[in-house]
């Protein structure tokens, strides 16, 4: 496992994301929706630095199952989500890879009647995008490697690491410890 983004770099990156949102929404109400499960650490750290009237909810999107390290069919569950009709929504995810997840979720939020929909991710994998859509905010660009930590998992392991690390192919083959 190789550290790509240290704990202090993550703290600075999240502080910067929060500052951008505080400036963008400038006291106007915002509904932040964390995409389960990878966004939970970012969600917890980010929302405590937001100054506008805030609603916080979650929805679920899954394209990786168990020990997979490449995406499969996207499954979305919005049952847990609060009503977003007429609301300014910010979708929050851990990583923008092919972009299929956020592209679909943004569409869903518009279908649900959101007044506006923006998106924020901690990480963007460079050169992987397969859609027209781009996230509005991203803290770090990373190379095309499978990463874990700060919410990101391999078969639900490693989400608790306070840094972001790349898992090497032999570690992936050996399975999560």
If binding is defined by CB under 6 A, does position 88 make contact with ligand 5GP?
A: no
Among 20, 22, 60, 98, binds ligand 5GP (CB under 6 A): 98
The distance of closest approach from Cβ of residue 69 to ligand 5GP in the complex, given in angstroms and rounded to an integer, is: 7
Task: Give the whole-angstrom CA distance, residue 154 versus residue 172.
Answer: 8
- Draw the binding track, 142-161, toward Mg ion (x: CB under 5 A; -: no contact): -----------x--------
- By CB under 5 A, the residues from 25 to 54 that bind Mg ion are 38
Given 45, 88, 93, 97, the catalytic residue = 97
Distance CA 66, CA 11 (A): 29
- Contacted by 97, from Mg ion, ligand 5GP, none: CB < 5 to 8 Å by type: ligand 5GP
Strands, sheet with 164-166, edge to edge from the N-terminal-most edge strand: 2-5, 164-166, 147-148
Contact partner at residue 71 from Mg ion, ligand 5GP, none, CB < 5 to 8 Å by partner kind: ligand 5GP
Q: Is 14 helix (H, G, I), strand (E, B) or coil?
A: helix
**97 given a catalytic annotation:** yes
> What is the closest distance, in whole angstroms, from the C-beta atom of residue 156 to ligand 5GP in the complex?
10
Minimal distance, residue 56 CB to Mg ion, in Å: 17
98 in helix, strand or coil? coil
Contacts of 106 (CB under 8 A, 6+ apart): 91, 117, 119, 133
d(Cα 15, Cα 21) in Å, to the nearest integer?
10
């Amino acid at each position: 496992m190789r550290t790509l983004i240290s704990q202090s770099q993550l703290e600075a990156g999240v502080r910067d994301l929060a500052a951008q949102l505080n400036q963008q929404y400038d006291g106007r109400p915002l509904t932040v929706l964390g995409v389960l499960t990878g966004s939970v650490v970012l969600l917890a750290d980010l929302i405590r630095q937001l100054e506008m009237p805030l609603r916080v909810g979650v929805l679920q999107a899954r394209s990786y199952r168990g020990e997979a390290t490449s995406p499969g069919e996207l499954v979305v569950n919005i049952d847990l989500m609060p009503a977003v009709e007429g609301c300014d929504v910010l979708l929050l995810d851990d990583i923008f890879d092919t972009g299929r997840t956020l592209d679909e979720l943004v569409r869903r939020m518009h279908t649900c009647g959101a007044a506006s929909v923006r998106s924020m991710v901690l990480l963007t994998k460079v050169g992987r995008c397969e859609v027209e859509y781009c996230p509005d905010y991203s803290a770090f660009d990373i190379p095309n490697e499978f990463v874990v930590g700060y919410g990101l998992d391999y078969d639900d392991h490693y989400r608790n690491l306070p840094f972001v690390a790349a898992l090497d192919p032999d570690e992936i083959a050996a399975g999560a410890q």
